[in-house]
Amino acid sequence: MKTLLLIDLQNDFMPGGALAVPGGDEIIPVVNELLPQFDLIVATQDWHPTDHGSFAINHPGREVFEQATLDGLPQTLWPVHCVQNTEGALFAPGLDTRRIKRVFTKGMDPRIDSYSGLYDNGHKASTGMGEWLKTEEVTELHVAGVATDYCVKFTVLDALAEGFKVNLIARACRGVNLQMGDVDLALTTMEAAGCAII
């Protein structure tokens, strides 16, 4: 089963969204064009409650993009984004979702963030994605989506650690680059961990 994993292609990560990823909309047509090459398409959705601990607004006196601590882990404080059942959490309207077989939501526990599509940032709870892919006898993944330096990176690293062969489709990914060079660093980190950047 040639498998494509789409990370967080949601309105809030598109230009004009609450946590816009520069050029995020440019990859939608690229992804649509890739779909026919795959037998199985799986997606993640960032899916936060309003009281989520990654939102700066839930840390009185703290600002967006500051560093904080959440559940004992370093945490970037984000604008309110991808709140469950809101417009911003929906898949980008141009994305052809018809062949997405499963969607795995993440980030529902207010006490911890979940960049990876497989586990929360503390590796305490699984989303079920890795287990499900294994029951489907998937051994290799192609990954596309946003953000290269957050959810894409941590999904790739967890998938590699779970024993999947992972290919990152670079032209179908975009990053935040909160600090200059973050995307390049993410690519280097994924490659060093065994991911093929294609």
Report whether 120 contacts 114 (CB < 8 A).
yes
Q: Is residue 149 near Zn ion by the rule CB under 5 A?
A: no
Question: Among ligand VGL, Zn ion, none, what binds residue 172 when CB lies within 5 to 8 Å by partner kind?
Answer: none
Q: What residues does 173 pair with on adjacent strands?
A: 145
Residue from 5, 8, 18, 42 binding ligand VGL (CB under 6 A): 8
Distance (Å, rounded) from C-alpha 113 to C-alpha 166? Answer: 23
Report whether 146 contacts 174 (CB < 8 A).
yes
Site string for Zn ion, 46-65 (x = CB under 5 A): x-------------------
* Residue 193, both tokens: 């961990």
Question: Among ligand VGL, Zn ion, none, what binds residue 151 when CB lies within 5 to 8 Å by partner kind?
Answer: ligand VGL
**3-class SS of residue 84:** coil
Q: Is residue 12 near Zn ion by the rule CB under 5 A?
A: no
Residue from 78, 104, 119, 164 binding ligand VGL (CB under 6 A): 78
Name the nearest CA neighbour of 80 among 106, 49, 39.
49
Locate tokens 């892919």: which residue? 133
Name the nearest CA neighbour of 83 among 62, 108, 63.
108
Q: By CB under 6 A, which span of 29-37, 67-75, 85-93, 142-150 interacts with ligand VGL?
A: 142-150
Q: Is residue 173 near ligand VGL by the rule CB under 6 A?
A: no
Q: Which residues bind ligand VGL (CB under 6 A)?
A: 8, 13, 46, 78, 115, 146-147, 150-151
